[in-house]
Amino acid sequence: MFRTLLLLLLAASSSHAGSDNQVLVFGGTGKLGSAVVRELVAAGHPVTVFARPASDRTRLDGLKVSYVTGDILDAAQVKAAFDGRDFRTVVDATARGDADDEFYPTAMANIIAGAKTGGVRQIILHGSVGAGDNIEQFPQANFGRMRSTLAAKGRAERLLIDSGIGYTIIRNGILLSADLPPTRTARLSTDQRLMRKVTRADLGLLTVLCVGNPDYMNGIWHAVDDSQDVPPQYR
């Protein structure tokens, strides 16, 4: 009898685990960000998406999300997104679009400043394999014009690491087509020598895994899916 009651209480607690952790997502209308939002909502987290007024929100159709509008490169507008709201987790799944590479450190600096005005406990950054000094692990890669972008992403990572806010950096290597379903076999590895394929949907699932999880706090992980083939140069 007691064991049955205990199991019921644990199940009830688990079913509402996400409801206490309000999440603010930057880049939530994009290909990666919308996949992240979809999985956060499915896990029961209240989600707010920070989006430009003109952003196309069709990828989020049918999802129960709130919105705040603004320009991520405007520090005052980012700060306003945090005012009067109790976000515990922030997810940065942004892409620079037509902006230059300085988009990444500028956006991260604005997010950090806004997060420090509230009770944010964790910032999850979706970054790239090869960011910053990590590029040295891949001498065989032809990053070409991406080198300056990866350097800027490395500066954004460093700002986050030095911010004093709990952080989780998830680097992806080779993103597969946005319309592919999750394989549900992706994992996070601390081996920063890995360049692997992963779906955006699986990155969404990995994000959910990290929210409020002390096992994935204050570190850098590379997204790995062992069910995907590995390009010869990265074996």
- Does the pLDDT value for residue 60 go beyond 50? yes
Burial class (CB in 10 A: 0-12, 13-18, 19+), 195: buried
Please check whether residue 187 is in contact with residue 217, taking contact to mean a CB–CB distance below 8 angstroms.
Answer: no
> What local confidence, expressed as pLDDT, does residue 48 receive?
98
- Does the pLDDT value for residue 34 go beyond 90? yes
- Does the pLDDT value for residue 71 go beyond 90? yes
Mean pLDDT value across residues 44-73: 97
Q: Give SS3 for 199.
A: coil
- Does the pLDDT value for residue 156 go beyond 50? yes
- Does the pLDDT value for residue 9 go beyond 60? no
Among 154, 219, 227, which Cα is nearest to 197's? 227
Strands in the chain per DSSP E: 23-26, 47-51, 66-69, 89-92, 122-128, 166-172, 174-175, 186-189, 197-198, 219-225
CB atoms within 10 A of CB 125: 26
> What local confidence, expressed as pLDDT, does residue 2 receive?
34
> What local confidence, expressed as pLDDT, does residue 19 receive?
55
Pairing of strands 47-51, 23-26: parallel
Where exactly are the structural domains of the chain?
Answer: 19-234
- Does the pLDDT value for residue 7 go beyond 80? no
What is the value of pTM for the model shown? 0.91
Spatial distance between the Cα atoms of 75 and 17, rounded to a whole number of angstroms? 32
Among 129, 108, 138, which Cα is nearest to 173's? 129
Q: Please determine, looking at this structure, whether the domain spanning 19-234 carries the CATH number 3.40.50.720.
A: yes
Mean pLDDT value across residues 61-88: 97
> What local confidence, expressed as pLDDT, does residue 215 receive?
98
Share of the chain above pLDDT 90, in %: 90
Could you report the per-residue pLDDT of 95-134, keeping only the tens digit for each? Answer: 999 999 999 999 999 999 999 998 899 999 999 999 999 9
